A and B are shown apart, each in its own frame.
Chain A
Amino acid sequence: MLRYIAYRSLVALFLVWLVVSLVFLLLHLIPGDPAELLLSQGSLAADPAAVAALRERMGLNDPLWRQYLDHLGGVLTGDLGTSFRDGAPVAEQIALRLPRTLEVIGAATLLAALLGVPLGTYAAVRAGGKADGLLSLLSSIALSTPVFVVGSVAILIFAQKLQWLPAGGFVSFSEDPVQHLKLLILPASAVAISLWAVITRMTRATVIEVLERDYVRTARAKGLSRAPILRRHVVRNAMIPVLTITGLEMGTLIGGTVLVEFVFNWPGLSGYLVSAVDARDYPEVVGIVIVISMLFVFLNLAVDVVNALLDPRISLVKS
């Protein structure tokens, strides 16, 4: 087992290196000069001498291979470098922003699961009925409505018209817990809507499948009432694929909440990545990509290992 984990960790590290090198190369291939962009903000003509001096300061005049090696050397020693724009340490900024993105994803998943599992089960039990039809329609709408539309409509209703919630922004929990939670409600709900649809549909499908299993029929034959059968035998067994799909969706969201972060002004990691790409802030882009790819790769590894530990039928080591 340990050998397997060590082997997979090495593969994971190789994958992270590959991703980082590709991103580094692509960033330098696409047009856009970080120094020029910084000094021409507001569409003003930058002084060429100033641009040249700034390029030198940023280390952009070194050959590409040296910039690459310097950066990689830094990464290996745990130093993700500093922002081209204001010299802020990249690792510190990521540590600040990653929890904010995870918070939105976590809150959205909780909300989606709390609503999706009971409603999906209900739809399965009443399969073919009116409620099932309505839920199916609602989940189709939820799945097909882009998150920025949901977000904009929510802002219009709850912030502009009803004035119940702030339109967007961020206040840290330690500074003002109530305001923090108020600001979390809309972005978390906007992300939750499509996740809810996925969970509801997945729950419905798997519950229907489990309902037809022999052990459910046996439980019924034993005279057990409906509620305990659903609770103990059906939903619990139906949850395995639902959990898998929820996990996958959460993983995708780590780098994919950019629209929500933009629409609600939530200063998370995705928005940080986009602004870094816009400014061609190479150290920031590479740093964020390292963190996101490591999260992905090592989450996969963790899932494989946990699966193997839980289910003896899954073998980690080839016989």
Chain B
Amino acid sequence: MTNGLNRRHFLATSLAAGGLGFLGTRAALAQEGGTLRFALSAFPPNFEAWTSTGTAAGTIKLLMHRGLLSYGPDGMLRGELAESWETDAEGAWVFKLREAKWHDGSPVTAEDVAWTIAEVANPDNAAFRQGQLAMITAVETPDARTVRMVTEEPLAVLPGWFAHYHMPILKKGEPKDTQIGAGPFMLDAIDRGVSLSLKAFDGYYKEGLPKLAGIQAIVYADENLRVAALQAGDVDLAEYVPWQAMDQVETDSALKLDVVDGPFMYLTFNGSRAPFDNPLVRRAAAHAINRADIVAAAFFGRGGALEHLPIAEGSEFYNAEFANAWNYDPEKAKALLAEAGYPDGFDCTMLSTAQYGMHQSTAEVCQAYLSMIGINVTLDLPEWSSRVQKGNEGQYDLAIMGTTADNNDPDGLVSVVDGSLPNNFVRSFGMPTPEITALFARGRAAFDPAERQAIYRELEQVAIDTAPIVGLAWRAQGYGMKSNVNGFANLPGQLTFYSGITLEETFFG
């Protein structure tokens, strides 16, 4: 056998090389000036600025629009359209606006803010913040740069409402899905369901920002493809890196991973019927489950056990004494079950969904552990849309749920824990929590940090004892990016989905 190149081999090789030549190498195409290619997990269902349209849509809003406030990379509130905010002698909030322009060149005024608040409070606009903004009884605009918001009682948490990505300020008179904003980028082109092009707004109110000339947001619904696109060099930044691929991104020398524990998994209960109307049974469930197995099975070790209310360890409201309050203790679980009158356990149905692997795996681990204390769980795993409806209608005994709180303030947990709110799949069904409701109200009205800490400590104590929900696991939320992408930061804790705000400071280098 010879290794020499004969005529036939040479021709075949040349043809193959010629045929593949046009493909080029992807690496050569990766750098294209100042346009960042961002792999989104979903296309915004619409562009209505105040509607809760998901986290991917939230990122696009953070590019196009600005609220009065936002959160910085350190997780602290900071001014955006408002440069300062404080309460006056009567307890009303006064926001001073900075000089900022809309994308059409006109100035942002107090009138725009007042009009936005009125529109958001109108139920026809299906706004996310409608419920909260209804507490604002009057909006005054003493001059073009001052907005005064009057509430029935002082509200310490009000500024945080105006930092949410579903609460941007719009120009007076614009439709709610307007493309005119005051954000660092302007919408340039939309290919529905496929991609969005945005270009830098040169009239943005922050000097020297945005640093990028544009952003091409491309939708990759399949999480594996999102990672593949990042590794192949098709995109520079990808959201929602799946847990199973985090190691792969971390060890790739061309990439880096920015990950935080923010979203969390928890159990909700049907409090309108036995057996989970009994807090002893709910606490038994809380002590029956070994969280480490959930983190391993559902999140490939990327997360952590959550044995208390979802208040992160770094928060000023974190209560170390409750860190393991719902610890794994099968003996205690059995004792609680016996005390509740179920020494031999019972049969019940657990609602989750087969559409998302993490929900199903979490349910399976819980099912296994609950069976060890005699609770025989039948899993109900419909697709997500059905799961939402069954959750809203209370067609379950206990359910697996995952979400993030509104923000890192304990008041952000209202939507998950407060049983006085209407029935919803994100919280337990038919379970009034009068003490907790009252404590949330007190917390909202308290301005002194020490007083607020004491209120929320008391609230967590009540929650631990009554278990209106039961924490299961923190889950890691990661952004993957090429090594040369700088300035982008994954915001801490519950703020992870606000991270799009840092795209104004993102640059290649």
Segment from A2-10, A126-134, A200-208, A258-266 that makes contact with B? A258-266
Is A45 positioned at the interface, with any CB of B under 8 Å from its CB?
A: yes
Task: Report whether B45 and A45 are in contact in the complex, using a CB–CB cutoff of 8 Å.
Answer: no
Q: Which residue of chain B has the shortest Cβ distance to A175 in the bound complex? A: B191
Task: Report whether A39 and B220 are in contact in the complex, using a CB–CB cutoff of 8 Å.
Answer: no
Residue in A41, A43, A57, A96 whose beta carbon sits within 8 Å of that of B45 in the complex: A41
Residue in B193, B194, B401 whose beta carbon sits within 8 Å of that of A43 in the complex: B401
Task: Report whether A36 and B52 are in contact in the complex, using a CB–CB cutoff of 8 Å.
Answer: no
Task: Report whether A43 and B389 are in contact in the complex, using a CB–CB cutoff of 8 Å.
Answer: no
CA distance A200 to B188 in the complex (A): 48
Task: Report whether A178 and B22 are in contact in the complex, using a CB–CB cutoff of 8 Å.
Answer: yes
Give B380-408 as 1s and 0s: 1 = Cβ < 8 Å from A's Cβ atoms. Answer: 00111110111010000000011110000
Task: Report whether A49 and B123 are in contact in the complex, using a CB–CB cutoff of 8 Å.
Answer: yes
Interface residues on A, range: 35 or more
Task: Report whether B234 and A42 are in contact in the complex, using a CB–CB cutoff of 8 Å.
Answer: no
Segment from B23-31, B75-83, B144-152, B451-459 that makes contact with A? B23-31
Task: Report whether A164 and B384 are in contact in the complex, using a CB–CB cutoff of 8 Å.
Answer: no
CA distance A190 to B24 in the complex (A): 21
Contacts of A182 in B (CB 8 A): 23
Residue in B23, B220, B421 whose beta carbon sits within 8 Å of that of A165 in the complex: B23
A273 CB to nearest chain B CB (Å): 12
CA distance A51 to B52 in the complex (A): 11
Task: Report whether A278 and B385 are in contact in the complex, using a CB–CB cutoff of 8 Å.
Answer: yes
B466 CB to nearest chain A CB (Å): 20
Task: Report whether A43 and B403 are in contact in the complex, using a CB–CB cutoff of 8 Å.
Answer: yes
With a 10 A CB-CB cut-off, give which of B57, B128, B383, B403 has the most chain A CB atoms: B128
Task: Report whether A263 and B23 are in contact in the complex, using a CB–CB cutoff of 8 Å.
Answer: no
Task: Report whether A47 and B128 are in contact in the complex, using a CB–CB cutoff of 8 Å.
Answer: yes
Contacts of B131 in A (CB 8 A): 47, 49
A80 CB to nearest chain B CB (Å): 15
Is A223 positioned at the interface, with any CB of B under 8 Å from its CB?
A: no
Segment from B94-102, B367-375, B422-430 that makes contact with A? B422-430
Segment from A154-162, A210-218, A241-249 that makes contact with B? A154-162
Residue in A42, A45, A88 whose beta carbon sits within 8 Å of that of B192 in the complex: A88
Contacts of B383 in A (CB 8 A): 278
CA distance A46 to B415 in the complex (A): 9
Contacts of A163 in B (CB 8 A): 25-27, 232-233
Segment from B223-231, B278-286, B299-307, B331-339 that makes contact with A? B223-231
Is B53 positioned at the interface, with any CB of A under 8 Å from its CB?
A: yes
Task: Report whether A168 and B45 are in contact in the complex, using a CB–CB cutoff of 8 Å.
Answer: no
With a 10 A CB-CB cut-off, give which of B55, B388, B390, B497 has the most chain A CB atoms: B388
**26 A-B residue pairings within 8 Å (CB atoms):** A31-B386, A31-B389, A39-B51, A41-B45, A45-B416, A45-B427, A47-B123, A47-B126, A50-B128, A88-B192, A159-B231, A159-B234, A160-B228, A160-B231, A163-B25, A163-B232, A163-B233, A165-B26, A165-B232, A166-B26, A167-B234, A168-B225, A170-B194, A172-B191, A182-B23, A278-B384
Interface residues of A, Cβ cutoff 8 Å to B? 30-33, 35-54, 57, 85-88, 93, 96, 152, 155-156, 159-160, 163-170, 172, 178, 182, 262-265, 267, 272, 275, 278-280
Interface residues of B, Cβ cutoff 8 Å to A? 20, 22-27, 45-47, 51-55, 57-58, 123-128, 130-131, 177, 191-195, 218-222, 224-225, 228-229, 231-234, 382-386, 388-390, 392, 401-404, 415-416, 421-422, 424-427, 497
